[in-house]
Every structure is written in structure tokens, then in C-alpha cells.
Amino acid sequence: MTKVVLILAVVLTLASLSLAGSPTVRGQVRNPSGKLLYNTKTTGNTTEVRNPSGKLIIRSKTTGNKTEVRSPTGKLLETIKTTK
């Protein structure tokens, strides 16, 4: 019985740590009159931009000192390098 409780405690601790490490941030881009242009969702180092109907427009991923922007099909659109 103690082994089951211990395993359950470890699983719950690991799950909470994984969720705490990369929270999901949702945002909206609107024009000056208030019309919704895009919905954004950032999880960890990945950002998705969608139109108001939910269709994926671009996906970007940041690793180290570069950001790769890709189309919905996965084609590389742009690589942005940053200097630190």
C-alpha cells in the first residue's frame, strides 16, 4: 500500500512540475477599432498564430539565439538570429 501511495505522489509531483515549467500564454491581436486579427498561443519556446476562424497561419520556435518561422505545412519561411 505504501508503494502505491509513493508512486502516486511521484507521478503527481512530476506532472505538476512539467505544467509549471511551461505555462501556456494566450493573446489576441486587434486593430485600433477592436476587430480581432489574430489569436496567439505561446507554450514554452513555441508560438502559434491563428486567424479568427482558427486556421494556423505561422508557427515559430526559438532555440538558443535563433528563431525559426514556419508555414502550416512546415516550410521554413524565415530564420531570425539574435545577438546577446
Q: Does the pLDDT of residue 75 top 60, yes or no?
A: yes
pLDDT tens across 5-21, in order? 667 676 666 566 555 66
Domain boundaries, the chain: 24-84
Contact, 74 vs 56, CB < 8 A? no
pLDDT of residue 82: 83
Mean pLDDT across the chain? 85
Per-residue pLDDT reduced to its tens digit, 56-73: 999 999 998 999 999 999
One-character DSSP codes across the chain? -HHHHHHHHHHHHHHHHHHHHS-EEEEEEE-TT--EEEEEEEETTEEEEE-TT--EEEEEEEETTEEEEE-TT--EEEEEE---
Asked if pLDDT for residue 50 goes beyond 90, the answer is yes
Return phi, psi of residue 4, to 5°.
-65, -45
